[in-house]
Amino acid sequence: MTESAWLRGAALYQLYPLSFRSGGGQGWGDLPGAIAGLDHVAALGVDGVWLCPVYPSPWADFGYDVADHRAVDPRMGTLADFDRFLAAAHARGLKVLVDLVCGHTSDRHPWFDASRRSRSGPYADFYVWADAAPDGTPPNNWLSVFGGAAWTWEPRRRQYYLHHFLSSQPALNLLDDACFQAVLDNARFWLNRGVDGFRIDAVDFFAHDPALRPNPAAPPADEPPLKPFGRQIHVHDMLHPSIRPLLERLRAEVDRFPGRVLLGELSSQPGAAARIAAYTAPGGLDAAYTLSLAKGAFTAEAFAAALTGVDDPGAIAWSFSNHDVERAVSRWCPPGADPAAFNRLLAALFCALPGTLCLYQGEELALPQAVLGREHLRDPFGITYWPEFPGRDGSRTPIPWVAGAANAGFCAAGAEPWLPLDPAHGPLAVDRQAADPGSPLAVWRAALARRNTTPALRHGALRGVEAAGAVLAFERVTEGTGVRVCFNLSNAPARYQGRTLAPLEAVVA
């Protein structure tokens, strides 16, 4: 048993600081606000916090376009504020994971500024550069996730650079030893400050085919995909076998600091279960998650497949909601279902799963997806594809803290929130739910408490996974004791082993 094994069975709270709480009077969240909200997080019964980026950034992708890996954006606070946040979390018994964005930077990062100016020098090979095709077009047909070509021309260098997301997020060349050593040095900076580990962003994009071969076209679909990225089979622009050795080098660096962990984010590309197994094998990540399940149907078959698709289910991290997907209560709740019943089912199911749990802020309040008009969008992904795809802003709106207060207590009365608060969220504010023993918040606290006090649910092996129509059932077993769980995922009665389960009923016994 390694010291980093604490992550297996742990529950993390994903704190998206821009929308968590403002402590400085402005219309966005910051580190002082995050400190002010830690008592609420600790009262949930989680083991730690995954803190999304607070690095200096132009906020083109709201922190995931990093301009300096060793500082705090002045709009979010200072390094001293970060140290206070870390100390406050540790004082409450909470571990802290921070986002480590290894695969790309902002185009305003000093590394890129140097790399784009010359094909020689210490930073020349820190990014992925390629010559134009003879006719001046990009070197191949690779596409950006956010739309358009994955290549942008840089006139000063007279080459194209690769970007898997926004053109302002150039891809790092992690196979360049100096580049990857600089990434490791950045990790060490935060480990020396006392963080308990990292959530590693976009692992599947770390490496690509060095020959830059074009991707084949995806088979024709009955309805063409909305996003051009879906028209290709992504066998050359991502998912390269050299990713695993990179993770091993990162693991070796992190292991110099006992008890520190690595949680990886994988893409939704086919084969995610196999990649979880490969990346979390000894010497790699401690756990990994994919949003494939969150983007799919809420069915017993889908959950059973996810539970049985990896030989070691304890290596799976589960994320029902996230800053990149629609909130689960809006995405999965069956039409006509009682929202309170669905929340109880979701909490019971989430807390019965093996592995690591990632609870997204606001999920404990059963916040529905916010509905925003085009004029309020900030997410470039949503702006590009509006209205067919409204983007990610609806899951990123501010947390309501005080019912009836200006801006629901998220920020000062005179400030304008960076995203509008949905009127439907006000009655679900933290203060109102904390005082109600029957609230969604009380349900989540009770579910997490049961997991924490039931060894089989927290650390038990997984046995007997079944998908029987709308019913998902499995057993968690440890030291000769077991807990059998079954869930009716539909809004209609369902039969299982001679028993009728009520709509959305959860049985944990």
pLDDT of residue 1: 45
* CATH 2.60.40-classified regions of the chain: 457-508
* Rounded distance between C-alpha atoms, residue 408 and residue 27, angstroms: 12
CA dihedral sign of residues 124, 64, 59, 23: negative
Looking at residue 200, what DSSP letter applies? E
Distance CA 413, CA 97 (A): 31
The three state secondary structure string of 162-199 is: ECCCCCCCCEECCCCHHHHHHHHHHHHHHHHHCCCEEE
142 and 171 Cβ atoms separated by less than 8 Å: no
CATH code of the domain made up of 3-103+174-207+242-453: 3.20.20.80
Nearby residues of 233 by Cβ (< 8 Å), 6 or more positions away: 215, 216, 217, 218
Pairing of strands 197-200, 494-496: unpaired
pLDDT of residue 224: 87
- Between helix 339-352 and helix 440-453 the angle, nearest 10°, is 20
pLDDT the model gives residue 34: 98
Distance CA 54, CA 69 (A): 10
Domain(s) labelled CATH 3.20.20.80 in the chain stretch across: 3-103+174-207+242-453
Amino acid at 506: A
User: So what's the pLDDT on residue 41?
Assistant: 98
Q: What angle do CA 196, 99, 167 make, to 5 degrees?
A: 165
Q: Which of 83, 13, 4, 89 is nearest to 260 (CA)?
A: 4
The identity of residue 354, as a single letter, is P
> What pLDDT does 450 receive?
98
Q: CB neighbours (10 Å) of residue 222?
A: 4
- Closest Cα to residue 141, out of 16, 260, 232, 208? 232
CATH architecture of 457-508: Sandwich (2.60)
Q: How far apart are the first and last CA of the chain?
A: 29
| DSSP label of 325 | B
> How far apart are alpha carbons 381 and 185 in whole angstroms?
31
The token pair at 112 is 């890129």
Are 422 and 405 in contact, with CB atoms under 8 Å apart? no
**Strand 499-501 relative to strand 261-266: parallel, antiparallel, unpaired?**
unpaired
Q: What is the full per-residue pLDDT of the chain (509 aa) written as tens digits? A: 466 689 999 999 999 999 999 999 899 999 999 999 999 999 999 999 999 999 999 999 999 999 999 999 999 999 999 999 999 999 999 999 999 999 999 999 999 999 999 999 999 999 999 999 999 999 999 999 999 999 999 999 999 999 999 999 999 999 999 999 999 999 999 999 999 999 999 999 999 999 999 999 999 988 889 999 999 999 999 999 999 999 999 999 999 999 999 999 999 999 999 999 999 999 999 999 999 999 999 999 999 999 999 999 999 999 999 999 999 999 999 999 999 999 999 999 999 999 999 999 999 999 999 999 999 999 999 999 999 999 999 999 999 999 999 999 999 999 999 999 999 999 999 999 999 999 999 999 999 999 999 999 999 999 999 999 999 999 999 987 999 999 999 999 999 999 999 999 999 99
Q: Are 378 and 397 in contact (CB under 8 A)?
A: no
For residue 480, the model assigns a pLDDT of 79
pLDDT on residue 2: 61
- The confidence score (pLDDT) of residue 222 equals 86
Query: Within 13 Å, how many C-alpha atoms sit on residue 196's CB side?
Result: 23
The alpha-helical segments, DSSP class H, found in 138-283 are 177-193, 243-254, 272-280
How far apart, in whole angstroms, are the C-alpha atoms of residue 101 and residue 200? 6
Q: How far is CA 392 from CA 62, 126, 327, 371, 385, in A?
A: 11, 30, 10, 11, 11
The residue among 138, 183, 196, 132 whose CA lies nearest residue 163 is 138
Could you give the 3-state DSSP secondary structure of residue 97?
A: strand
Q: Which residues pair with 496 in a beta bridge?
A: 499
Note whether 30 and 80 are within 8 A (CB): no
Reduced to 3 states (helix: H, G, I; strand: E, B; else coil), residue 334 is: coil
Return the number of other C-beta atoms located less than 10 Å from residue 267's C-beta.
20
Q: Which residues of 103-129 are buried (b: 16+ CB within 10 A; e: fewer)?
A: bbbbbbbebbeebbeeeeeebbbbbbb
Strands (E), 311-363: 317-318, 356-360
Backbone angles phi, psi at 294, to 5 degrees: -65, -25
Q: What is the 3-state secondary structure (H, E, C) of 290-322?
A: ECCCCCCCCCHHHHHHHHHCCCCHHHEEECCCE
Q: Whose structure tokens read 């992550």?
A: 7
